[in-house]
Structure 1
Amino acid sequence: MSATPQEVFGRYIHAGTVTRDADALAECFTEDGVFEAPLVPADAAFPRRLVGRARIRSAMAAHYEQQAKTDRPAPNFEKSGYVLHITSDPDVFIAEIDSVFDGEDGEADTAVCLVQIFRVRDGRIARLRDYFTPALVE
């Protein structure tokens, strides 16, 4: 039995956002999986397109290592939320995500909204298009 959209999404978020584990994140993808961030400029440090589990693993490990060197906070998971939109194609679902980051020193919280389109095969991500503000990864 194939994984549900909720299961696929849950594994992906846990690996990528909660634990920032590049190995676990890569395992969410098919061997030939594709990760795309179409709004990221071609000359940005964050990869715009990654093809294959091995490339996803290495690029995201480098990204997580770079993130660890900054003081960028993790989202507040209690304030953040998402909605999964199931499509007429059983292999495609859309995640609408509102990530909330706590404000510092009395500043207001910051909300970041993004959309991800998932195409799955055999319970793994075959293609992910992640539409987010490029400033998030600068």
Structure 2
Amino acid sequence: MSAPTSPAELYRHSLRLLLDKDIAAWVALWAGDGVMEFPFAPDGWPRRLEGREAVAAYMRRYPDHIDLHDFRDVRIHQTTDPGTIVVEMRGVGRMVETNAPFDMTYIAVVTVRNGRIASYRDYWNPLAAQEAGTDFAGSSR
């Protein structure tokens, strides 16, 4: 595949990598100093990851917790900043440990600079994650 040329194309590509469980390739989409934030994270859960290595450590065990099958209802909204998009979507799959269904609605604000993810604010619902039987969005603390 040729390199994605727009934030929306890069984001759609990132979703395919997550479905393929190719976390290394997903992390490679990040800028070295990229920041991932979780504004709704409860106390004791990560709220901010600084740098590609911190994002990699956070995501490393994601497939051990959640087996994603699909991203449904993906809607990507352009903003007045050509490098920033707002994404609405649902992640659907199952919890690996319990085999319970996983169905999480997400809103993300993503900024891409120089073809890499520079900022990703993930507005997921920690209460829904707890109901699904996972710590936070499926990753290990």
Q: So what's the TM-score if we normalise by structure 2?
A: 0.73
| 1:132 correspondence with 2:124 | yes
Q: Give the whole-Å Cα distance in 1 for the aligned partners of 2:70 and 2:10.
A: 21
Structure 2: segments with no counterpart, 5+ residues:
95-100, 136-141
Partner in structure 2 of residue 54 of structure 1: 53
Partner in structure 2 of residue 4 of structure 1: 6
The Cα of 1:49 is off from its aligned counterpart by 1.4
Q: More strand per residue: 1 or 2?
A: 2
Residues matched between the structures, number: 122
Partner in structure 1 of residue 24 of structure 2: 23
Change in Cα spacing, 1:76 to 1:7, as seen in structure 2 (3 Å) is: closer
Structure 1: segments with no counterpart, 5+ residues:
103-108
Secondary structure at 1:57's aligned position in 2? helix
Change in Cα spacing, 1:113 to 1:25, as seen in structure 2 (3 Å) is: same
Q: Give me the identity figure in percent.
A: 30
Partner in structure 2 of residue 89 of structure 1: 81
Secondary structure at 1:38's aligned position in 2? coil
The Cα of 1:82 is off from its aligned counterpart by 0.6
Secondary structure at 2:68's aligned position in 1? coil
Secondary structure at 2:91's aligned position in 1? strand
The Cα of 1:24 is off from its aligned counterpart by 1.2
* Pairing 1:67-78 to 2, within 5 Å after superposition: 67-68=63-64, 70=65, 72-77=66-71
The Cα of 1:2 is off from its aligned counterpart by 7.4
CA contact (8 A) 2:14 2:26 kept: yes
Max Rg structure: 1
Q: So what's the TM-score if we normalise by structure 1?
A: 0.74
The Cα of 1:131 is off from its aligned counterpart by 0.5
Q: Give the whole-Å Cα distance in 2 for the aligned partners of 1:83 and 1:121.
A: 21
The Cα of 1:75 is off from its aligned counterpart by 3.7
Q: Aligned AA for 1:23? A: A
Partner in structure 2 of residue 13 of structure 1: 15
Partner in structure 1 of residue 43 of structure 2: 42
Q: Give the whole-Å Cα distance in 2 for the aligned partners of 1:33 and 1:88.
A: 21
